[in-house]
Chains A and B, each alone.
Chain A
Amino acid sequence: MLENEEIDEMMELYVDHMVNPRNYGRLEVYDAMGLGKNPDNGESVIVYFRLDDKGIIDEIAFQVKACSTTVVSGSIFTETVKGVDLEEALVLSNIMLDKLDELPPEDAACSEIVTMAFLAALEHYEARKSDPDAMVPTKFIEKTCEVKEDA
């Protein structure tokens, strides 16, 4: 059970990222693009990224066809991986996936779909090394986006 103070902090974080989602949009020029999908309800997330000449994620953007919690997840996730190299971004993605079971189900599905979109973009980046026209991969989530039961 969360304390009121923790609820306040989470609400503040949620509002901050909803009012001003970081990196929301699309990149016209990108090194890779990936799609995450929820097979149950058709919700989807697209992630684009571009690397600088040192291999650091220099620009990243995401778009969602999903709920506001997914926008917040995308905003926080892209902020986290912006400025790191792909190896570190992969480590951060795996940490995120490991923590999904600690989240409420509806939040877990939102975080997973963003992470899967990014992992698909990493696959796309690798595939484009040998085939610049490689198809954009789609990764499906395993968590179920259950309706929130209010107290």
Chain B
Amino acid sequence: MHNGAKKFNVLHETWVKVLFGSFALDHSTAQEQLYDFSEILYRHLRWVENACVNAEVAYSYEREQLQISARSVSDVAQWCSEALLELQSVMGDEDALEQRVQQDIDYMLYAMEKLKADSTAVVAFDRSLRYGADEFKPETLNTLLHFLFDESYKEYELIVIYSYAQRQIDDQRVFEIFQILIDESKFHLKSFARMMAKLGILSIPRFITKEIYEIDSLTDFLLAGIDEELAAKEECRAIAAKIDHDELRHFFDLINYQENYHIALMEEALERFRDQSSDK
């Protein structure tokens, strides 16, 4: 693929921009549509990554620090349009993959044009620190804010790390495990980011440096990851126990219990790495 590294980089930024554009919107058809677009862009990203790997082109998951702010649905549509136009300008149409990306962009731009007419207010950046009509006690809010900023970054980090790591492994089952963990992190990121939007503090996680996502030892990474999952479980349990909000209490219990299966999957991947090294 010609200029594959640049295409990968712009595609990565576009995916993140459209993803967080979707998080900025309240429950609506537009929110679902933008989220679907972001999922398509993520798939494009992985296909372009595959093309880079096959062509032995070096690519990077590093990106610029991104700031998003909008006062209306129209502003969000504008932000997404600009990202899509930049992507359109760097993608060629030399093969079926690039043609597919270009055709998808055309449709997304068409949808954004329609959305630009929507002047509905967006509260995702107003820093109200209110959860809809609800207010939290200062210490609960403090714990919640730290959790959301830390965990939204970590979920994005995990998506990047597992996506990159999938290209480094031969074991089909470990590949599947990493895919499950990517999908799970996407759900967690979406949940946390939508919560941040409701509190008026939505922001795009800082970028992941090569030093973080280029893992020397996947075994050490998974061992540390299990400790992090256990810590996240404890944090979720603590928030669920203290938060005076029925919906959020149930949600944090859900996240706490979901981590159990993540740990089981990571232990399974570790076991397979151990078996492979003992076979050698």
Residues of A within 8 A of B (CB): 4, 7-8, 11-12, 14-15, 18-21, 24-26, 42, 63-65, 67-69, 71, 148, 150-151
The 9 closest A-B pairs by CB, nearest first: A68-B149, A19-B203, A7-B138, A18-B149, A68-B150, A151-B139, A25-B65, A24-B65, A15-B201
Note all chain A residues with C-beta closer than 8 A to B141: 11
Task: Choose one: B125, B206, B209; the contact of A71 (CB below 8 Å).
Answer: B206
Sample of 17 further A-B pairs with CB below 8 A, known A21-B206, A63-B206, A68-B146: A7-B138, A7-B139, A7-B142, A8-B138, A11-B129, A11-B145, A15-B127, A15-B201, A19-B203, A21-B65, A24-B65, A25-B65, A26-B209, A65-B209, A67-B150, A150-B143, A150-B242
How many chain-B residues does the 8 Å CB contact rule pick out? 26
Bound-complex Cα distance A18 to B129 (A): 14
Q: Is B67 an interface residue, CB under 8 A from the partner?
A: yes
Main secondary structure of the interface of B (DSSP, over half): helix
Q: Is B212 an interface residue, CB under 8 A from the partner?
A: yes
Q: Is B238 an interface residue, CB under 8 A from the partner?
A: yes
Cβ–Cβ contact A20 & B67, under 8 A = yes
Tell me the minimal C-beta distance from A31 to chain B in angstroms.
20
Tell me the minimal C-beta distance from B208 to chain A in angstroms.
9
7 A-B contact pairs sorted by A residue (CB < 8 Å): A7-B142, A8-B138, A25-B64, A26-B209, A64-B206, A65-B211, A151-B139
Bound-complex Cα distance A65 to B228 (A): 14
